[in-house]
A and B are shown apart, each in its own frame.
Chain A
Amino acid sequence: MLMGKTFTIPERMRMFFKQYLKEMEQLGVNSIGIVLLISFFIGAVITIQIKTNIESAWMPRWTVGYVTREIMLLEFSSSIMCLILAGKVGSNIASELGTMRVTQQIDALEIMGVNSANYLILPKIMAMLTMIPILVIFSIFSGIIGAFCTCWFGGILNAVDLEYGIQYEFKEWFVWSGIIKSFFFAFIISSVSSFFGYTVEGGSIEVGKASTDAVVCCSVLILFSDLILSKILA
């Protein structure tokens, strides 16, 4: 029912785009920093772990780069990054809408004759669908830069070997697969968190509970859909 109310044509396109841009900044642009930071370190750590743990005379030197790339492309930058974003963005959405509900701001919208679900939730969903794939691409690049930094500054392995491994049997589909998955995850994060926030009843304790429930539910749904999507997109 809530989704039915949400997915209607906005009453004022001007107001919708205003909200859409605001949400892109709040939910997407403001998450770039944490995405770059986490991806950089994870890329570096994966490189170090692969190098130190599976090094063998039988193993080609490019293996580290190859495995780092596959992990970043297939799982970390799409699924794990979205799990992290479910914590940051999901709790943000649920607590914002929950607070608006308990302080009667949503009632105020309804009394004015505004479709509050459409005005508040649709821009969030659209903004997430726009920004999350961009964040996934940022994450991939940041992770690979992190991996190179272990070569340049840590001397873990030769940067040429890493570069060769990263380029070895590169399949463009893996990038698309990550982006396709991220669309599903973006929808899960924005819609599930919005549902928990929008339907809060009570006070600040309930808002906090809704925020926690939203993150837990988003995380479980992301993991479950990751399982299905990985099978379908493989």
Chain B
Amino acid sequence: MIEIRNIEKQFEGKTILSNINATFANGMTNLIIGQSGSGKTVLMKCIVGLLVPDHGEILYDGRNFVHMGKKEKKQIQKEVGMIFQSAALFDSMSVLENVMFPLDMFSNDTQHKRIDRAMFCLDRVNLKGAENKFPGEISGGMQKRVAIARAIALNPRYLFCDEPNSGLDPKTSLVIDNLIHGITKEYSMTTIINTHDMNSVMGIGEKVIFIQEGKKEWEGTKDCIFTSQNKKLSDFIFASDLLQKVKKMEINNMKD
């Protein structure tokens, strides 16, 4: 479980995050949604330690990440897997080498065992046969799957995904969503996903936090979104005519 308390962050006097509190439970896909520039990525960067919040606490299963020493932080970072918006695969390494990298760096297993583990992870994301290809030779969807395989190589307790569906077609997005959801359940990880993909919200949003202008506006499940009276949330989620119609249909279904 990850708990964030009173997180605040400013850049050059401008408040980006203001007094954010949230709890992200184990074995659940926790989604942070909000418009571009709302502060989602900054919040995630604060949680994973790429940025230091100006104020507040981040608790990884009760361990306060903000006030930790370097050694303890490193220990937690080894329990973290992250999937970036751009996949962030190492260009100079093959797919297999990318997945093996965290194992090579932190595992004391033999080379044979490390290869087996990497192949297992690639198999888990349905990428067996692509191990000798380089990131530049595979599609965006495959790159995201390699990033997932790399993120789970060390059996992390916490998984962070920064807009994992960005730049992907709806079908591939669904594959990625289902994969992240499945892995979260399988390994009982605490998964936090930054997204503004409404298909993801409706598909795997077991817990959804809506952020606007650096403030938490709403918190609930995907089912509560339809009945929520929060205008800002409705304006954001049901921005298109199509989604307005879906909302009306869903509410009618609920009444029936």
Contact = CB atoms under 8 A, between A and B. Distances in A.
Given A110-B50, A111-B48, A111-B49, A12 B88 contact: no
A14 B105 CA distance: 9
Interface string A110-130: 111110000000000000000
Given A107-B50, A112-B102, 6 more contacts: A15-B105, A22-B92, A100-B91, A103-B88, A112-B77, A113-B74
B80 interface: yes
Interface of B: 48-50, 73-75, 77-78, 80, 82, 84-86, 88-92, 101-102, 104-106, 160
A228 to B, nearest CB: 36
Interface string A1-31: 0000000000110110000001000000000
Contact of A104 (B49, B86, B101, B104): B86
A104 B90 CA distance: 10
A108 interface: yes
A233 to B, nearest CB: 38
Given A105-B90, A107-B84, A112 B49 contact: no
Interface string A83-113: 0000000000000000110011101101111
B50 A113 contact: no
B88 A112 contact: no
A54 B85 CA distance: 65
Given A15-B104, A104-B84, A111 B78 contact: no
Contact of A107 (B75, B88, B92): B88
Interface residues of A, number: 17
Interface of A: 11-12, 14-15, 22, 99-100, 103-105, 107-108, 110-114
A130 to B, nearest CB: 20
Given A103-B88, A113-B74, A108 B104 contact: no
Contacts of B75: 113
A15 B88 CA distance: 19
B101 to A, nearest CB: 8
Contacts of B85: 104
Nearest to A105: B88
B105 A104 contact: no
20 contacts: A15-B105, A22-B92, A99-B91, A103-B86, A103-B91, A104-B84, A104-B88, A105-B88, A107-B50, A107-B88, A108-B84, A108-B88, A108-B90, A111-B48, A111-B80, A112-B78, A112-B106, A113-B73, A113-B106, A114-B105
Nearest to A14: B104
B146 to A, nearest CB: 12
A6 to B, nearest CB: 16
Contacts of B105: 11-12, 15, 112, 114
A18 to B, nearest CB: 8
Nearest to A22: B92
User: Would you list the 7 A-B pairs with minimal beta carbon distance, nearest first?
Assistant: A113-B77, A104-B88, A108-B88, A113-B74, A104-B84, A111-B82, A113-B78
B2 to A, nearest CB: 14
A73 B92 CA distance: 37
Contacts of A108: 82, 84, 88, 90
B50 A111 contact: yes
A15 to B, nearest CB: 6
